[in-house]
Structure 1
């Protein structure tokens, strides 16, 4: 008989509840985003969020954790991340010390072997940490597309059964499923098998109205006229072919910069002086200066 998968009590009561509670953390979600979060919670399925860098994918996971009082556990993916970094590994240095100590005390090897492959020597990594937690948990698998294709097999196994088999200790099964969010900047296609396990949400940069609301929420002291000009300028920059488009976080930083400098207007001189807050490549700044006619 198939083993029943663990379940979790719902975190959100409705789509409107998602909007309200995320808003309390400062994350202003549109209806599509809130609906995806609600369905992932209610259907007990991982949520795969794709979109360009800087649109708020990771911030959404943080907001879900904060709004529900859940612990956020993050697996940061990168080229070369492996099972030892994602799931678990043994503390080899500590094992060697114990073996040397046992050898000096003439302890039987069979006893020593059982000792060094015990919980005391296990280093749990993010996937195992999330599976073992009994309290509400948000597992963020960040920038999944940066990991090697081989790691997707491990993710599939974990997301299918929420159980991990450690040969020396046996099978560890989740008693409460974490809320799983995977993010991807779409630098490569994720496998269809992994996508089938998930609900899918594409996040893009917010429209001007939403970005104005975000700016007003995060930098309430910023004059409305400057905020509007700032959002218009950011929109122009995002329409350009740049190495790195300005993120929402950089829009917020720009607003805080203007306040810190005591600027009461965003004229050409002010934009030129603060362009480095939103554009981090010299070639992008040169292109932007020409497009905005700052020269």
Structure 2
């Protein structure tokens, strides 16, 4: 075990070195995931730091990050492995040319299904790269069939490739699954994971995040941005801003060499924090109230 995993506080300190400020609950969940070798299922609104957690864990632990981005229609071949058919075909033609057309079929077939022609996708990469952090991002976008496949793989960290053989992880990866809750993930998958719900940070913590990630920002501007973002989250917006948008807004204001945020400056830079025209219109109509 690395020193970074010795306790929840040690893990939180390691994450802090990457700029990720984990609260006590999240640090404890991450620590238990490493101790119990259980996947960590992180659910919450977009922008609460679920994906960033996996990135920070990878950086803090100095373990490679393997990322599987889920999407509608993703299947086992896209996530696990494929055979490099064009290279196999070229190899077969080279064998035929070398043997003057007298090619032994069994020998040729065995030579085609080797590691040389195996294209490892993220899940197979995670089984063969140890130790590593495996990020299964937005599992709620995948369908039931893929979820069932993933459930089986996470049970044993083993996969059998018919033409190649069994691949088993020497050390199970540290798995972080994220969900924006666009649909309910099945209980069977959740039962195999430790669960943590991520909230948007409170005002004080968001100010700390801004100052930690952007050392050049002043206390006043950081507080004004965090306060404005919290007010925006309280409005009925199509997409309330997350921490990533807070950071983008801060970077935009620093690029404009602003040390304070007022209504006029906010109106010019809202595109850094809001991503829908309806939200922009709704907020611009209340800017004076928000910054009074």
Normalised by the length of structure 2, the TM-score is 0.94
CA contact (8 A) 1:46 1:198 kept: yes
Write the deviation string for residues 162-191 of structure 1: whole angstroms up to 9, x where unpaired.
111011111111111110100010101111
Write the deviation string for residues 65-103 of structure 1: whole angstroms up to 9, x where unpaired.
111111100011011111111011101111122223333
Counterpart secondary structure, 2:288: coil
Q: What does residue 133 of structure 1 align with?
A: 129
Residue 119 (structure 2) pairs with residue 113 (structure 1):
no
Write the deviation string for residues 248-281 of structure 1: whole angstroms up to 9, x where unpaired.
0111111121111112321111010111110111
CA RMSD of aligned residues (A): 1.6
Write the deviation string for residues 168-227 of structure 1: whole angstroms up to 9, x where unpaired.
111111111110100010101111110111000001111111001001111222222222
Write the deviation string for residues 23-81 of structure 1: whole angstroms up to 9, x where unpaired.
01100010011010011111110000001111110100011111111110001101111
CA distance in 1, matches of 2:64, 2:223: 36
Following superposition, the deviation at residue 149 of structure 1 comes to 1.3
Following TM superposition, where does structure 1 have runs of at least 4 consecutive aligned residues deviating by more than 6 angstroms?
A: none
In structure 2, runs of 5+ residues without a counterpart are none
CA contact (8 A) 1:237 1:246 kept: yes
Write the deviation string for residues 131-153 of structure 1: whole angstroms up to 9, x where unpaired.
1123x200100111111111011
Which residue of 144, 165, 169 corresponds with 1:149? Answer: 144
CA contact (8 A) 1:90 1:123 kept: yes
CA distance in 1, matches of 2:191, 2:4: 23
CA contact (8 A) 1:85 1:125 kept: yes
Residue 148 (structure 2) pairs with residue 158 (structure 1):
no
Going from structure 1 to structure 2, the CA distance change for 1:218 and 1:53 (only over 3 Å counts) comes to same
Counterpart secondary structure, 1:200: strand
CA distance in 2, matches of 1:218, 1:132: 33
Q: What does residue 199 of structure 2 align with?
A: 204
Counterpart secondary structure, 1:221: coil
CA contact (8 A) 2:211 2:217 kept: yes
Q: What does residue 212 of structure 2 align with?
A: 217
CA distance in 1, matches of 2:221, 2:95: 70
Q: What does residue 267 of structure 2 align with?
A: 272
CA distance in 1, matches of 2:260, 2:28: 39
Counterpart secondary structure, 2:259: coil
Corresponding pairs, count: 287
Following superposition, the deviation at residue 294 of structure 1 comes to 7.5
Normalised by the length of structure 1, the TM-score is 0.93
Q: What does residue 249 of structure 1 align with?
A: 244
